[in-house]
Every structure is written in C-alpha cells, then in structure tokens.
Structure 1
C-alpha cells in the first residue's frame, strides 16, 4: 500500500516541482535575471543599420556618485540645483518619481543618431533605446503613465506604437521584448521595429560588434560612444550640411580608411577622464610614430599657464610634401608658399624653416606682469630641439636681417652666462628674444621678462604639483602634451574681464570653472593600426 502511494505521489510531487520551478523561472525572467538587455551589443540589435553612431549613458548611481568627491560647495550647489530643477519639471508634467518609478526597471540607455531628413537637414534625428531589466516594474510604470498621460496607440508591423504629447512636443514609443524605443519622429520607431523583426541592425555593421563588446577601459564609466564606420559618418554629416564645403577626393578616400572610433568617459580619483581608440588602415599613417622623450617640458618655468608639446615637425612637413605628390591642389599651394618665402625673405621653406625642426618642441603661455606684457598678464615662448644647430642659427640670422630692415634693432645680451639676441622696437621696448638653452635647444620668448625667466628657470614646470596632478597620470610614452592650469587661466580671465568692465562670468558657471584644476591631453600609438587619445579634466577635491 505504501509503495503504491509513493508511486502515485511521486509524479504529483515531480509535477508540482516542475510547476513551482517554472513559476520561479518565469518570475526571474520577468525580473530580468536572464536578460542581456543592458549590454551595448544587445541594445544595438534594435538600432537600424542606417544609424551613424550610438552611445550608452550609464544608469549606475555609484558611478555618478563618484563625482561627489569633487568640487567646491558652490559647484556642488549648482549641480544639485540643476538636478532638482530637472526632477521638478518631470514631476510637474507627469508626476513621475525617478527613484520609485523609473530606476527599478531601467537597465541601460542607448541613443542613436540617424541620418537627418533631407528636407530638414539641420534637425537632429535621434532614437533612444532603453533596456528593461525588470519587466514587472516596467509594466507598473507603463500603467501609471497611461493613466496620467493621454496617448494614441496605433499598430505597425504587429507592434503597438504609442504617441504622446508633452511640453516639448510629440514622442513615439514601442516595446520590443526587452527594450523600450523612443523617438520624436515616428519613422525612427518604425525603423527600430523593422530592425527588431529582422532588418539589418547597427550591431551587424563592420567593426561594430568588436567595439560594442569591448568599449573603452575607464573607471566608473559614465558614457561610451561607438562609431564603427568613422569615415562614412563624416562624409554623411558633411553631405547633410549644405554650408559645408565639399572634401577633396583624396581627403575623402583617407577618411573612409578610418575603420572605427570608440570613446569612453569615466570618473577616477583625478577627475573626469576620457579615452578614445581609433582603428585605421596602417597605410594611412604617413608619419612614423616616435614617442617624445618629454624633456622639453622641463625647459619651461613654474609660471606656465598652458602648453602644447610634440616632436618631429620636420617629419610632419615631409609627410605633407609626400602627400602633395598625389594631390595637385595641395602641391600648388605648397609651391606658392615656397615662392613667397623665397621672393619676400630669401628663405627656403623646406630647409630653412622646417628642415632643422627634427626634435621635441613646445609652445607655452606664461604669466608675466612686466613691460608691455603687463596689459595682458601673460606672454608666449617656444622651444625647439634640433640636431642641426648650424642650419637653425643660419635661419635665425636671416630672420634677424629681415627684422633690421623694418626698424627693429637686434642686440646681444648676456643672461647668466648665456647669450641671447633681442629685438628692440624704436621705443627701445624689447619685443622678443631668443637664445640657446643647451647645444640642441633654442628658445624664442616675447618680452624681456620672459627672456630672463626662460634662461634662469629655477623652478621648472615638470616638477610642479599642478603639472604632475594634471598630466602626470596620462598614458606614457606619448606624442606630447596639451596642458592647461585652470587656476592661472581663471585668474587671467577674471582680471581681464574686470579691466574691460564687462559683465562677470555668471556665478553658477564661475563655480563650475573654479572647481576645475586643469586639463591634460595626450595621444599614443600602441601599434600600426591603432591610435589612442586620453584627456583628463582634473577636478579639485571636495571642500566643506
């Protein structure tokens, strides 16, 4: 009897277990446990392949919360005010509470830029793709929206499209399994439905799957942008803008060889960091990549406000000359420049100007409150490193001779054992000067005060805390730096605005700008087909 009962009960128990398990699986499915809807690749599968580019915006509050470690109280207040105003506007229109109504089901947010309507080329055509991580919460939200906002549903290819009207105009939306698609134009939603039903998607474009899967490695990602066919995108954007001049066929051909570009923005302990990776045809790279030694930065003083450095101007010029052999228009322009330099100044453009600039170089803006620079608060300086000092000196002598024919006096002066040549105006004001810092480094500086600063330079830029904080964390080796000290820059801006008696910078904008410590940027080339760029918006630590 007991054996028979066990035989009868076993199927019942097994069946009940199957039903319970099925219910659990179904519940977990609705809760999004098995869904990959939040990945860039999954979202791109409902984006039409006509899209020029896509981007993902992070919905992770922890990533955005990292920004709380930066900024003055004024900057934090300005940001919080903006967020509060946005929430109030959303609540006023639809009584939506982001934390309660949207966040529980919001998995990801992708935006896609579609080609503009030829009849309205200036109007952006955007499609939003929102990943649904919790279908139950999304269902509850949908019911709440329908009860509050009047809309009209229509059918397209077996899918319901909801049309709603708000203060900003009409919005069209549709649910495609694990994704909600929205757009201000109905056609964009229809294209997304067609893609969902089997038409070619953005995810199937060449290079798309790779960049969508890998992205860019940044900490606490806030956003990523994906452009799998960079050259074609640029061509279409130019074609859609009637005011853009047509590109020469050679330039267009080069752009099309740029295979893909992906960019990422994140937050780390230094501030906001952006990285970009471009894949190109190696045959396009005309200038051989050589990382800079980085020594030229040390030849600029602590008072440096901003700097751009690099290496091998002569190699870049040689690449332009080589390219001109295939481009008659470019060759004609170069020949005109050569002729003008020869006729007007008796200078050989290839040899006298660019030929000896084969080492590192840097251009900088430097603080100064002396002489005629006092009215501006800064002046400029250049440093060139060269392996051909003889040609460089011969060129500078020719330029001195040209200056002397234009009422400028050229005189020598000794500064701490170094000979510098200075150009004096008829008023005896020193316009600029130049000299050799060592056997391979020649500098040119505007104003007598900067000449002395460049020669003496007891405290160099590369040893400053500001430069180390802003540029020190950028990837190395690299091709050089773009560097801005924001404190020194804002000091000049505020001073010049006050002197000009213009309206001051608005308080909120000023609060944001003064929370930025500086900007650093560089680039590198890890292999023949890859170019990388990195930029840091260095932010000041939060103060009480």
Structure 2
C-alpha cells in the first residue's frame, strides 16, 4: 500500500463523509427522541496532544465515520441509497488496496470517535537545501485497544510478506514499526541526489557545502496507550509526537494561540480545522524559500512586504456543525496582539440591492461599503500570493472587458449597498471560451463628488473610443457603451456593426451596470424572480449568524464550467474529492465582524439531497 493511499483515504473520511452526512443528521435528531450524538459533543481534538505547536495544519473529525454514514444514508432518497453506499464502501476500501485487509472486518470494530490529520512540519530535517519534505501524522482513536493492536500486527505482517523491509524501534516505552522503501527505490533516490563533480575548466571553483540527503519517504506506525494508534510518513514524526505527550508544553493542545482560537468558537461542532495561514501558504507554494516569509512581494508593494508584519502571523480555526441544510462552519481568524481593527457588521437582513440579481446568478457578492472592503482585502491578502491570485484573476478579466480600473473608478464611490453577480453567457465564443456576463448594482451615493465619479464613467468610455448613447429597453431608457465597426460584404452596401461593451441604468436609489443588453434586461426584470427568492440562498441567510457584513454565494453546478476555465487546478481538486463535488449544491460565506484581534465568519455548504 502506498503512503499516498493511506493519507488520501483518511482525508476523505474526515472531509467527505462529514460533508455528505449533514442532511441526515438533522433528520435523525429532529425525529428521534434519543439523541444520536452526545448532548455535550467533544470540542477539542484529543490528538492535539501529539501535534507540535508549530504545525501548519490540523484537521479533525470528532465522530465515528459510521455515524456519519448512517446519517447520510437516511437523508438520501431510497432510489439512490445503493449508489451512495457503494461510493462510501469504495472510499473506505481505497485504504486497503493490495493489502488483503477488509475495512469492515479489520478496522470498523475498533475505530473510535476521532480521526485527526496533521501536517506537523514544513520540512522534516529543516534543511531547505535538499528540498521540502513535510511531516504527516494521522491519529486514529480506538474503542478497543486490543483489536487495534491486532490490526497493526496484521497490517505489518502483510507488508513483510509483500517484501517490505521492516524496522522495529522502542522509543520511550512505545513500539514504533516502520517500512523502508525497496532497495531499488533507495538506490534511485541516492543516484538522483548524488552531487556532480566540481568543474576545473580554467580555474578551480570554490566547493560549496553538500546538502544532506532528504529523509527517505516511508511509512511508520505506533500504538500510544489505549486511546490512539498513529501513522506517519517517517519515524521522526512519531518520535516527536511521543515527545509532545511527555512534554505537553511542546504540543498544539497547550499552545496559547490554539486555546484562544478554540475559545472564539461558540457553536457545537463535530469537526475542527486549525491552520497556521503563512505556513500553509508556504506548503502550497513549494518554490518559495522557507526563510523568506517576511520578504515576499505583495500587491501593495511589489518589492518587499516589510518586517514580520502581523498579517504574516494569522491563525485560522474553523468548527463544523451539521445543519438541516448542510454543513455549517464557524470560523475565526486570529491576528497577534489584537492587530485587527474592530468593526461591527451592519446587516441584520439581506440588502435591497439583491433585488436586481436574477435567480440565474451563478456567483454573487453583496454587502455595504465596497470601498472599505477592497481596501481591507488588498492589504490583508497582499502577503499571500496564492490567495491574492484567486481574487486578482477574475477582477482582471472584468477590468479588461470594461476597460476600467475598477478599484479607482468604481469601488471608491460605493459607500452604501452593493451586489455583484456573474450570470451565464448567452453563447460561447468562437474559440470555445465561456465569457460570462456580469451585473453590478450599487446604492447611489449622496456626496456630489461620488456622483461625479459615476458620470465620469461615460467620459472614460468615450476616451476608449466607445460610443455613449441612449438605448430603449421596453418602457425604460438606459445608457449603452458601444463600439461601432464598419463592415462591407461582397456586393453589399457599407453597414455599421455595434458591439455593446456595457450598459448603465439608474433605477430607484440604485445604479445598475451590466456587460450586455441581455444581462441588463435580466437585472431590470429580476424583481419577481431575484436571487433572494432562490431556495439555497434563503437557507444560507437563515443559517448564518446575524448581524453580518453580507454574503458571498456560489451555485456550484452553474458556476463550475466557468470556474474550471479560470482555475485549471480546480479540476485536480475535483478529481480528488469527486464524491463531495458531485453532491455539492452551493457554498455561502459571510463575515460576522472583528474585535480584539479576531475576525469571525461563517459558511454554509449545501449538498444535493438535503432539505
């Protein structure tokens, strides 16, 4: 069995089963007088005692996967239960491919109430010269210590029969078993890392110190006490985990940041994620040196970000609860020393600007004070290149289409309500590229200088060679930005072709902008079938806490083709979590404000088949 298979399986158990089971949880608890879950569910992963305090990521499932599977099957329509059961069985059996082990016979009888996965370090030997090899740890709770130890013995017996070279080690009273890679693999790694001879062409070059070889990838396990069995990608990870138990101050469980993060979560939960944001960024971007986190180029400063900005020290923690509409997440982003500026979220209900977003909107963002929000985003995400690109890329596409500097020409005057939506395009371009339409609604500003900024948009359009003129749509006259081109076909008189680049309308107390006539028409007619009336959006607004700062809403099926086109790496993620993405219905995010260095927010992940 490959190491990748083990950790891929456990990740799926923690994430996919948790997500797929959300609807069934509500069904059982609401209808059964005997609570399926404890009235006081565990709030802190017990395995945090094994995880070092400097760990970049930890993800925990605080329930037995069998409970979640039961919930999901109950929530699934009867006609689909067989297919869902087969998918779940296939996920579980992926762990045991080519091992001769059976999940129901060898694992399920002893599996307990927690599965925790962690990236323990960015580099096992802390030597950037030989590349990064992160440390991975899986801690699995056991309800039957004897059976779980028998499982480990059977597991390693089958590895030995298959030809693996087993290594046994007794470390501080704990038995560690590891399997080294086959000799052929070790030889190939050594050959690949063998240093090249120095050059002596014209003169001797000074010899550089040789980098130590990176730790060899392997698989190791240990049974610690009567509560957990551990798996890791190197015995060193297990030795450090044992040290953390015997010296608790070294563990994440005793970390002040971790305990503070846990205390910020107020809702009951069945899952937990802990992320050291800058370390995760380094993990995702392998080309970035480990020692240069304070000197990264940013959106605000393309040269150097500055000295150890507090933005580079943030910690994200998220607790997951099962909701009648899906999986409800409560999130907190901590900044050191209370660096976050306090602000109270202003909204106790969805804003009026949403009435101009049609029900076909595949992606939308709504709230107030877009000028302030953009300023916070540009500063807060400047040091995180990977995340910044996710925002910059679609923004650049929209700027190129409208030929505007959106932050300066539009965002700066939006101090009231706003709503932005991506709607499906009427057609596909000649090269097969999807080009969605956009609708933007903003509350008309009261200051004269901001009103002049709106009028200045027409001047900018004219400077780009666009024609600005009235266009009648039903009983309403709007302003259209068009590009005129002359076209003469064979034996035909000269004709003018008008290509609409944008449409602007003033309606009530709002200014509307759209990238096409069809999009503007759908915005003007959205009152009777707006996004606010869509079932999934209503469920999100009733599930997420209030007051809040607005909503970011994604209809997965509708936006999927366009998102895959914009972000090709998304297809790889979908392949890894296929069962989840096939059932994903929508995702909604919201911010609950900030105080004393903590920014709070929430998310609702809705799945097909839930209420």
Under a length normalisation based on structure 1, what TM-score does the superposition of the two structures give? 0.71
Q: Does 1:46 align with 2:50?
A: yes
Distance 2:134 2:406 in 1: 49
For residue 66 of structure 1, what is the aligned residue in structure 2? Answer: 71
Q: For residues 342-491 of structure 1, what are the structure 2 equivalents within 5 Å?
A: 353-367=410-424, 369=426, 376=434, 378-388=436-446, 390-415=448-473, 418-426=476-484, 427-439=497-509, 441-459=510-528, 460-489=530-559
Match for 1:206 among 235, 251, 256? 256
Distance 1:418 1:370 in 2: 25
- Provide Cα deviations, 1:331-382, integer angstroms capped at 9, x if missing partner: xxxxxxxxxxxxxx999987x6554221121211124538999995841111
- Residues 356 and 386, structure 1, Cα contact 8 Å, conserved in 2: no
Distance 2:78 2:133 in 1: 37
Distance 1:450 1:105 in 2: 53
For residue 60 of structure 2, what is the aligned residue in structure 1? Answer: 56
- SS of 1:252's equivalent? coil
- Residues 370 and 449, structure 1, Cα contact 8 Å, conserved in 2: no
For residue 241 of structure 1, what is the aligned residue in structure 2? Answer: 288
- Residues 340 and 595, structure 2, Cα contact 8 Å, conserved in 1: no
Q: For residues 6-405 of structure 1, what are the structure 2 equivalents within 5 Å?
A: 40=44, 42-60=46-64, 61-68=66-73, 69-70=75-76, 77=83, 80-81=86-87, 83-84=89-90, 86-87=92-93, 90=96, 92-104=98-110, 106-115=112-121, 116-117=123-124, 118-119=127-128, 120-145=130-155, 148-150=158-160, 151-164=166-179, 170-178=218-226, 179-198=228-247, 200-211=250-261, 217=267, 221=270, 223-227=271-275, 230=277, 241-242=288-289, 246-247=295-296, 248=304, 250=306, 252-255=308-311, 258=314, 260-280=315-335, 284-286=339-341, 288-292=343-347, 294-316=351-373, 353-367=410-424, 369=426, 376=434, 378-388=436-446, 390-405=448-463
**1:445 Cα deviation from its structure 2 partner:** 0.9
- Residues 181 and 192, structure 1, Cα contact 8 Å, conserved in 2: no
RMSD: 4.4
For residue 17 of structure 2, what is the aligned residue in structure 1? Answer: none
**1:406 Cα deviation from its structure 2 partner:** 3.8
Structure 1: state its 5+ residue gaps. Answer: 1-37, 324-344, 497-502
- Residues 215 and 224, structure 1, Cα contact 8 Å, conserved in 2: no
- Provide Cα deviations, 1:139-187, integer angstroms capped at 9, x if missing partner: 4434544654534422234433222468997322223323333212111
Distance 1:299 1:87 in 2: 48
- Inter-CA distance 425–267: structure 2 relative to 1 (3 Å threshold): same
**1:507 Cα deviation from its structure 2 partner:** 11
Larger Rg: 1
**1:212 Cα deviation from its structure 2 partner:** 5.4
Q: How many aligned positions are there?
A: 470
- Provide Cα deviations, 1:56-102, integer angstroms capped at 9, x if missing partner: 23441213433332489679737734632642761741434445545
Distance 1:321 1:267 in 2: 33
Distance 2:379 2:83 in 1: 55
**1:295 Cα deviation from its structure 2 partner:** 1.9
Structure 2: state its 5+ residue gaps. Answer: 1-41, 161-165, 186-216, 297-303, 381-402, 485-496, 566-570
- SS of 2:366's equivalent? strand
Greater shift after overlay, 262-271 or 208-217? 208-217
**1:442 Cα deviation from its structure 2 partner:** 0.7
- SS of 1:191's equivalent? helix
- SS of 1:532's equivalent? strand
Distance 1:106 1:132 in 2: 4
Distance 1:95 1:157 in 2: 30
- Residues 317 and 333, structure 2, Cα contact 8 Å, conserved in 1: yes
For residue 397 of structure 2, what is the aligned residue in structure 1? Answer: none
Distance 2:575 2:309 in 1: 47
